Amino acid sequence: MRILVDENSAVQLVAVLSHILPKHKIDHVTLIGWSGKKDIPLLADAAGKGYDVFLTRDGRQLENPDETKAIMRAGIHHVRYTQTVGGVIGVGLSMGAIAAAMPLIMKELEAAESQRLIRISRLDHNPAARFEMIDPRKAKPKYWRP
- The one-letter amino acid code at 122 reads R
**Strand-strand pairing, 117-120 and 25-28:** unpaired
pTM for the structure as a whole: 0.87
pLDDT digits over 68-79, tens only?
999 999 999 999
- Domain architecture of the chain: domains with CATH: 2-123 (3.40.50)
Check if the beta carbon of residue 97 is closer than 8 Å to that of residue 123. yes
pLDDT digits over 83-113, tens only?
888 899 889 999 999 999 999 999 999 999 9
